[in-house]
Amino acid sequence: MQIVAISGSLRLASINTQLLYATQSVAPPSLKIEIFNGIGDLPHFNPDRESDYPLAVSVWRDAVRDTDAVIFSTPEYAHGLPGSLKNALDWLVGSGELANKPFALFNTSPRGTFAQASLTEIVSTMAGRHVRSADVTLFLQRSTNEDALTLTPEQTEAVRAALETLRRACEGKSLI
């Protein structure tokens, strides 16, 4: 099974991005997790370019279309999503890559509730299927470097349980 993981942060030392790499490292071999790092390469969304979009948009759309599920991990800025993530999602509205696609939210802070609610609303509006039981909130410290994040055994267990729930949702065996 293929999962694409998307960080809403463009920071090099982003704890959200580090969480996704840590998730990738503890995933079972049956799950292939691809970290998509290209949202910063996307141009500003312009509906006039829907039929004449740049290569970065094509790569983004292909990554989401060709996956079984999506994991988002994003910071919250001013009670909302980072503009780069919202922009990336706008490029998917008319093309439908998220339609009927299971998704989960991996949060690194208990204070990200507004961004999480906004992200859920946006992706659900695009017909994505939120697998709430696969959402994870881990209390992680802000990182000051790009070193790999090491999860505790309890955090690893929570992430693996979330991945299993997401896998079952993809197979139609789990309630959303």
Give the pLDDT confidence score for residue 176 in this predicted structure. 58
- pLDDT, tens digit, 9 for 90 and up, residues 24-37: 999 999 999 999 99
Does a structural domain hold residue 121?
yes
The CATH number covering residue 152 comes to 3.40.50.360
Given a contact cutoff of 8 angstroms between Cβ atoms, the answer to whether 24 and 98 are in contact is no
| CB-CB neighbours of 135 under 10 Å | 19
Whether the CB-CB separation of 15 and 81 falls below 8 Å is answered with no
| Domain that residue 126 falls in | 2-170
- Whether residue 174 has pLDDT greater than 70: no
pLDDT of residue 103 exceeding 90, the answer is yes
Count of domains forming the chain? 1
Global pTM? 0.94
As separate numbers, helices (DSSP H) first and strands (DSSP E) second, the chain gives 5, 6
- Does 68 fall in a domain? yes
Domain assignment present for residue 112? The answer is: yes
128 domain residue, yes or no: yes
Helical (H) or strand (E) element with 124: helix 113-125
**Does residue 176 lie within any of the structural domains?**
no
Q: H helices of 4-112, where?
A: 15-26, 55-65, 83-93
> Are the C-beta atoms of 79 and 117 separated by less than 8 Å?
no
CB-CB contact of 20 with 7 (8 Å): yes
Residue 175 lies in a domain: no
> At CA 113, angle to CA 107 and CA 116, rounded to 5?
65
132 or 52: which leads in pLDDT: 132
